Amino acid sequence: MEIIMIDGNKVLFSGMQATGSLTLGNYLGALKNWLTLSDEYMCFYSVVDLHSITIRQDPAELRRRARNLLTLYIAAGLDPEKNCIYYQSHVSGHAELAWILNCFTYMGELNRMTQYKDKAAKHADNINAGLFTYPVLMAADILLYQADVVPVGRDQLQHLELTRDVAQRFNAVYGDVFTIPEPYIGKSGASIKSLQDPAKKMSKSDENPNASIYLMDDPDTVMRKFKRAVTDSEACVRYREEQPGIMNLMNIYSVCTGRPNEEIEREFDGRGYGEFKTAVGEAVVDVLKPLQERFEDLSKNKDYIDGIIKNNAEKAGYYAQKTLRKVQKKVGFPEKIR
């Protein structure tokens, strides 16, 4: 199989939506792993604004959030000289490849997507075709850069499986055009749960603000939300399915401090939930504080961020065109006369 090696490295693609404020779930489930992997791969990190409009957005607000998200990628520690950090809407190849892949994806496959069903139920007044074909655009994002690995939280696995199926189907017809990507799911941060209902994932769009820690929450807010986190009446810090609230807090504490669960159980043996919740809150504040400070600094530097936006869109566009041209030729579109 031909794998496009970019600068000798394997390729990583991932993205986040600029809808709502990023949560600790986004950070621990995805962004943190991006940082760990960024030295090993040639990385494309996109702010996926095309995906965002599958739900109605206020235009000025979407622009503001998209810029904040891009800035946050850098504030989190991704070096924009080494990693390609860009807006999806600045590279038209995403939409162009998505159209072609739409013709290789079955309605039945898209009908099975649980995220579509959830979102359609939530936005019953606006079940648009974009919401339905959202996973195809996601497949296009990934396949456009011939990505080998895609770090995501567990909620995106189904979309990754679809991406692989569509790529394999295309390759079966036209030869080895696309690299088949592998998902990368971190160990303990893969599914961070709501602090108010540990059966649900922590989500940007939760109506209860106490359910999610937002990356821009100040320390007092973080501590208050952890104090109010729903637990149980067992009164012991143990990693057990029967204690989903405590399991979630342990997951968060473990990813933030790097300590394994057995060590955490020992540390809090015989101590109350109050102490444990305070420790988790403090560990999260320690992670968020430097991120927030760097974000503030970077946000003031308009020219620097503008430069990154421009250069990286060009770089992403270059690699995207390479795949797109190959795909267009394979499906039978006529060559452009130059």
Q: Which residues bind ligand TYM (CB under 6 A)?
A: 13-17, 25-26, 29-30, 48, 51, 138, 141-142, 150, 152-153, 155-156, 189-192, 201-202
- Cβ(34)–Cβ(14) under 8 Å? yes
Q: How far is the CB of 270 from ligand TYM (least distance, A)?
A: 30
Q: How far apart are CA 114 and CA 123, in angstroms?
A: 14
Q: Which residue of the set 204, 227, 326, 330 is catalytic?
A: 204
Q: Is 300 designated active site?
A: no
Q: At closest approach, how far in Å is the CB of 146 from ligand TYM?
A: 13
Parallel, antiparallel, or unpaired: how do β-strands 84-87 and 149-151 relate? unpaired
User: Based on CB atoms, which residue is closest to ligand TYM, 15 or 245?
Assistant: 15
CB nearer ligand TYM, residue 34 or residue 276: 34
**30 vs 283 by CB, closer to ligand TYM:** 30
Query: What phi and psi, each to the nearest 5 degrees, are found at residue 242?
Result: -70, -15
Pick 120 or 236: Cβ nearer ligand TYM: 120
| Close Cβ partners of 197 (under 8 Å, ≥ 6 residues apart) | 211, 230
**From 82, 193, 200, 201, the catalytic residue:** 201
> Residue with CB nearest ligand TYM?
29
Minimum distance, C-beta of residue 108 to ligand TYM, in the bound complex (Å): 20
Can you list the pairs that 209-215 forms with residues at least 24 positions away whose Cβ atoms lie under 8 Å? 212/23, 212/24, 212/25, 213/23, 213/24, 213/284, 213/288, 214/21, 214/22, 214/23, 214/24, 215/21, 215/22, 215/23, 215/24, 215/26, 215/27, 215/72, 215/288, 215/291, 215/292
Instruction: Select 160 or 264, whichever has its Cβ closest to ligand TYM.
Output: 160
Q: Packing angle between helix 157-174 and helix 114-122, nearest 10 degrees? A: 120
Catalytic residue at 201? Answer: yes
Catalytic residue among 119, 193, 225, 277: 119
Supply the minimum distance, in Å, between the C-beta of residue 95 and ligand TYM: 13
Q: How far is the CB of 151 from ligand TYM (least distance, A)?
A: 7
Is 329 known to be catalytic?
no
Catalytic residue list = 119, 201, 204
